[in-house]
Structure 1
Amino acid sequence: MQTSPCLTATTPMLDFKVPAIAALIEARGWSRLPRADRIGTIYDFVRDDIPFGYNRADDISASDVLRDGYGQCNTKATLLMALLRGVGVPCRLHGFTIHKALQRGVVPEAAYPWAPAEILHSWVEVELDGDWLNLEGFILDSPYLQAIQAAFPGRESLCGYGVGTDRLDAPQVGWTGEDTYIQKTGIARDLGTFASPDDFLENRKQAIGRFKEQLYRHAIRHWMNARVRKIRNGDVPPVPGLDARRKGLPKEHGHAA
């Protein structure tokens, strides 16, 4: 399979040649590994060394995500793509929207009505042995996901707290050379594939208005990150309609295929 050069190139967001990212790749020795191991070790790094959390915006660069030291679906995807391209692995972005119900429990109840009905989402597609694999399971770090699993023992389906899965007890999140998912069941719309996050976000921005955007950037996301830290430490706040006796999405939302 011949790979398009645009799937290995740098972009303003995929800035893998900056010193911080180049030094990280060299220090970890990722470039010297076989391709499957390059993908797996970088995937594990982004999943667990960059914990789940909310950055100031979706369109920040990979080096900004690395500097922040945390990220969510879109920003961690940017960092994952930059690191993969930095070791010569072709990759692309698959864009979606997700139902806001997936964020319930992380978004404080007082702010939840302000959230748009659909939220921009993405995962990374990586080329391995001529096939394209879907990588989404890197979004939630292991301690965070384990805290959610402990809060909902015996539960199979959950859409909330940043989780969207029908396999909560054993989600497809570990790298095995196959697809990984952790928010798939919250998907609302498929927006197609893109060569880079720059292309995906060029004409797409979360339509919440300037006032709400500033409120999110300077206040709400910090509130959300505080909740994420509490959840990671085992303090999972109750959410109406998402207690352990329920299955899947709250009734008012339905289930996304």
Structure 2
Amino acid sequence: MTASDPLVAATPILNFDHPSIARLVEDKGWKTLSPYDRIGAVYDFVRNEIAFGYNRADNISAAEVLADGFGQCNTKGTLLMALLRAVGVRCRLHGFTIHKELQRGVVPELVYPIAPEEIIHSWVEVETKTGWANLEGFILDSEFLSALQSTFSDTLSLCGYGAGTGCLQAPPVEWTGGDTYIQKTGIVQDFGTFDAPDDFYANHGQSFSFVKGLLYRHIIRHWMNARVRRIRSGKVPQIPGLALPNHQHEESRHAS
């Protein structure tokens, strides 16, 4: 690793030189840890201290994600990359699209039909002693994921509510030195790896019309975040075609 290594460099989006990020890294003492534990500590922070939610855009800076205190795959990934580079860990972005079905239940049913069929997605690839590990399991915070697991306790495979996994009750989301995933089964297109999110978004942005972009930023995402908060509290809406959430099974039994 050299000073000019692009996989540890700051960028306008990966602005780990911002005072708020520098202060966080210093306060947490992450630089004193072993490389393995640095990755784990940063990963756990982004996974659980930054809640699952929807920011105003994918290409906001790491400092803005930290200030928001929430994010989704792309924005939480930006913060994860910035923090990893701040502690000297090499990382890169792997870009994809996922099918919009994965967001059903979070996207209101009224809006779902007009949502793009494919949604920009990414995960972070981090260099370890044994090679590159794919980190995607940080997207859903543990409280949100636990709500889905409790609600669909008899469900093995789930594509919806922000999850895309074939092992809902025990998805590989903990840092153990290898790959972590929580939305992998929703992937459609693979765009390959990029040194930084700046490069990715310069070539692959979410295609919204001007009006839809305004609606998303000012209305729809706030609606989605309200639904995320309800799901986190255990109030999971039914998706047509999926098994009833457990609490709705109970309501159906009581009504019959």
Which TM-score band applies after superposition, normalised by the shorter structure? over 0.9
In 2, distance between residues paired with 1:206 and 1:132?
27
Amino acid at match of 1:101: E
Offset at residue 83 of structure 1 (A): 0.1
Q: Does 1:78 align with 2:104?
A: no
**Match status 1:166 vs 2:166:** yes
Q: Give the match for residue 202 of structure 1.
A: 202
Instruction: Report how far residue 4 of structure 1 moved.
Output: 7.3
Q: How does 1:1-257 map to 2 (within 5 A)?
A: 5-244=5-244
| Unaligned runs of at least 5 residues, structure 2 | 246-256
Where does structure 1 lack aligned partners over 5 or more consecutive residues?
A: 246-257
Q: Compared with structure 1, are the counterparts of its residues 104 and 217 closer, same or farther at alpha carbon in structure 2 (3 Å cutoff)?
A: same
Residues in 2 aligned to 1:26 and 1:79: alpha-carbon distance in whole angstroms: 16
User: Are 1:3 and 1:90, in contact at CA under 8 Å, matched by a contact in 2?
Assistant: no
In the TM superposition, what is the alpha-carbon distance from 1:207 to its structure 2 partner?
1.1
SS in 1 for 2:51: coil
User: Aligned-pair distance for 1:204?
Assistant: 1.8
1:217 alignment partner AA: R
Structure 1 pair 170–130 and aligned structure 2 pair: CA distance change class (3 A)? closer
Displaced runs of 4+ in structure 1, greater than 6 A? 1-4
3-state SS in 2 of match to 1:93? strand
Greater gyration radius: 2
Q: CA–CA distance in 1 between the matches of 2:152 and 2:130?
A: 39
CA contact (8 A) 1:13 1:78 kept: yes
How many aligned residue pairs are there? 245
Alignment-mate amino acid for residue 112 of structure 1 = Y
Amino acid at match of 1:151: T
Contact 2:55/2:72, CA 8 A, preserved across alignment? yes
* Superposition deviation, residue 130 in structure 1: 4.5
Please report the TM-score for the alignment, with normalisation by the length of structure 2: 0.93
**Structure 1 residue 154 displacement after superposition:** 1.9
RMSD of aligned C-alpha atoms?
Answer: 1.4
AA aligned to 1:195 is: D
Question: Conserved in 1, the CA contact under 8 Å of 2:238 and 2:244?
Answer: no
